């Protein structure tokens, strides 16, 4: 292995996940942390740790000079960004390269092109992948925008090009709401992402959110590891993910996975990544939405079905080595579901920071838990509210759902509020179990 020491530019469960794989590969790790995360588990599990600033993310986990300095003083030769924070930041990737560090992710050109939601759609269309053609907002007058939207037809989605994780997005059902929403989203996008570029696309009324896991290297190898269904969402933020998608026919599954491979080949992708689609259940058609040039929160469901360590393959690809897999080597076994356990009020969904008095994680056959919390841990108000991911695997979807019910009921977190009972409601819901739902599932169920 080319890398001797990897700095993990992240926190929480993904930092722990990366550290564990590095240890199995014989690679030393450096954890960076804010002052608020001094006692975090990812700091304790790494070989070394460096404090990079105060609790506020812009002063620590988004502080590029501090992270690069930590890499220099510890002698790291590569940086793994995890997901969120700087994971899709082309300037960070460029600075790593300038400092002689390997950025564990795709080449900078891919980050730049596929990270732009407007440009990526144009590229996808050229690659022969079906797309919902967007309307660019910036540079158009209010009159032009209103005219274009009326021609497209309501409802539509207004999206921030630099957005992600459900942020910077708003559904419009009334034309009178359009311009004021655009103004608000521009302000929010500029503040949150440093880019106020917006676009508008047609809203599919009965969609599933389906994504395909891609794995590539610098030698032309491009593979898919099947698809995931991420349809259960709240405010465009994923809540439950599963693999395989239970409503795709084998013919459509093959088409959507192959289209992701062709797109990755077209852009010379050379890392682990995800191609996301909207699947129109009424028309049995799929449309490219975006490409995530990083590891995904929900990657464990793919790992559980295939037995492939995606973090390891990401590191191997970044090192310049050839992946040891061919498409024929990827075997899919059973069904897997992931529930994101968050620190939030189950009624208002407001974050619920504070001290965890007692924590008991579930266990048993087919149960995996990716977490970073423990009894006595103080949940910070400064970061994402996700505490843990409960992933279960079974021989089929029914066994998987029953196993998840058991695992959720075994999960105990005292001292703060969580969304555990929301997950129990979802898993037991007749429409969810019967596959009679779309991305508005929780909107309908939580009325």
Burial degree of 250 (CB within 10 A; 0-12, 13-18, 19+):
exposed
Cis peptide before 258 (omega within 30 of 0): no
User: How far is CA 404 from each of CA 248, 345, 357, 368, 407, rounded to the nearest angstrom?
Assistant: 22, 21, 24, 10, 5
Tell me how far apart the alpha carbons of residues 277 and 207 are, in angstroms, rounded to a whole number: 10
Residue labelled with tokens 């405010």:
235
In the three-class reduction of DSSP (H, G, I as helix; E, B as strand; rest coil), residue 197 is classed as: coil
C-alpha pair distances (Å), 16 with each of 27, 43, 69, 142? 14, 9, 21, 48
185 neighbors 192 (Cβ within 8 angstroms): no
Q: Are strands 48-53 and 412-414 parallel, antiparallel or unpaired?
A: unpaired
Is residue 294 annotated as a catalytic residue, yes or no?
yes
What is the strand order of the sheet 102-103 is part of? Answer: 48-53, 28-34, 5-8, 78-80, 102-103
Catalytic residue, chosen from 11, 17, 228, 294, is 294
Q: Would you please indicate which residues are annotated as catalytic (active-site) residues?
A: 294
């Amino acid at each position: 292995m080319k890398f001797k020491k990897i700095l993990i530019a992240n926190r929480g469960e993904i930092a722990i996940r990366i550290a564990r794989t590095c240890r199995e590969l014989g690679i030393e790790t450096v954890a960076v942390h804010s002052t608020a995360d001094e006692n975090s588990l990812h700091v304790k599990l790494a070989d070394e740790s460096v404090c990079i600033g105060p609790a506020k993310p812009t002063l620590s986990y988004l502080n590029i000079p501090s992270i690069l300095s930590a890499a220099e003083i510890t002698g790291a030769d590569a940086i793994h960004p995890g997901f969120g924070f700087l994971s899709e930041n082309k300037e960070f990737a460029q600075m790593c390269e300038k400092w002689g560090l390997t950025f564990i992710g795709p080449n900078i050109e891919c980050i730049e092109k596929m990270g732009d939601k407007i440009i990526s759609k144009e590229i996808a269309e050229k690659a022969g992948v079906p797309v919902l053609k967007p309307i660019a907002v910036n540079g158009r007058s209010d009159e032009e925008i209103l005219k274009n939207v009326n021609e497209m037809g309501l409802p539509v989605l207004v999206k921030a090009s630099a957005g992600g994780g459900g942020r910077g997005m708003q559904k419009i059902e009334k034309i009178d709401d359009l311009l004021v929403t655009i103004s608000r989203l521009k302000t929010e996008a500029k503040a949150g992402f440093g880019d106020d570029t917006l676009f508008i696309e047609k809203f599919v009324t009965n969609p599933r959110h389906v994504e395909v896991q891609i794995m590539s290297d610098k030698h032309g190898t491009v593979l898919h590891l099947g698809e995931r269904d991420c349809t259960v969402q709240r405010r465009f933020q994923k809540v439950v993910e599963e693999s395989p998608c239970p409503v795709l026919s084998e013919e459509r599954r093959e088409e959507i996975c192959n289209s992701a491979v062709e797109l990755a080949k077209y852009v010379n992708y050379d890392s682990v990544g995800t191609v996301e689609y909207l699947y129109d259940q009424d028309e049995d058609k799929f449309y490219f939405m975006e490409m995530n040039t990083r590891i995904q929160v929900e990657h464990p469901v793919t790992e559980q079905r295939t037995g492939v360590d995606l973090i390891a393959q990401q590191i191997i690809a970044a090192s310049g080595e050839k992946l040891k897999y061919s498409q024929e080597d990827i075997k899919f076994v059973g069904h897997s579901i992931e529930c994101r356990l968050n620190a939030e009020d189950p009624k208002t969904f407001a974050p619920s920071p504070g001290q965890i008095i007692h924590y008991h994680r579930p266990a048993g056959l087919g149960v995996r838990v990716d977490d970073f919390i423990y009894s006595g841990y103080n949940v910070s108000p400064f970061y994402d509210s996700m505490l843990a991911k409960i992933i279960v695997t079974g021989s089929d979807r029914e066994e998987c759902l029953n196993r998840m019910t058991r695992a959720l009921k075994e999960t105990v977190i005292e001292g703060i509020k969580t969304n555990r009972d929301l997950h129990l409601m979802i898993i037991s819901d007749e429409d969810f179990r019967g596959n009679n739902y779309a991305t508005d599932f929780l909107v309908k169920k939580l009325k």
